[in-house]
Amino acid sequence: MDREQVARWLGAYEHAWRTPGTDPLATIFTPDASYRQGPYRAPVVGLPGIAGMWEDERRGPDEVFHLTSEIVAVEGDTAVARIEVRYGEPVAQEYRDLWIMRFAEDGRCRSFEEWPFWPAQPIAVSRPEEG
Let me know if residue 126 belongs to a domain: no
- Does residue 26 sit in helix, strand or coil? helix
Let me know if residue 17 belongs to a domain: yes
Let me know if residue 79 belongs to a domain: yes
Q: Please, are residues 85 and 94 in contact by the beta-carbon 8 Å criterion?
A: yes
Residue scoring higher pLDDT (87 or 56): 56
pTM: 0.84
**Which CATH number fits the domain that encloses residue 72?**
3.10.450.50
32: domain range? 3-115
What was the pLDDT predicted at 122?
Answer: 56
Let me know if residue 130 belongs to a domain: no
Domain tally, the chain: 1
Let me know if residue 110 belongs to a domain: yes
- Looking from the CA of 10 toward its CB, the CA atoms found within 13 Å total 23
| pLDDT tens track for 16-62 | 988 888 999 999 999 999 999 999 999 999 999 999 999 888 776 66
Let me know if residue 107 belongs to a domain: yes
Tell me the Ramachandran region of residue 107: left when phi exceeds 0, alpha when psi lies from -120 to 50, beta otherwise: left
Let me know if residue 124 belongs to a domain: no
Mean pLDDT of the chain: 88
Q: Please, are residues 1 and 76 in contact by the beta-carbon 8 Å criterion?
A: yes
Let me know if residue 103 belongs to a domain: yes
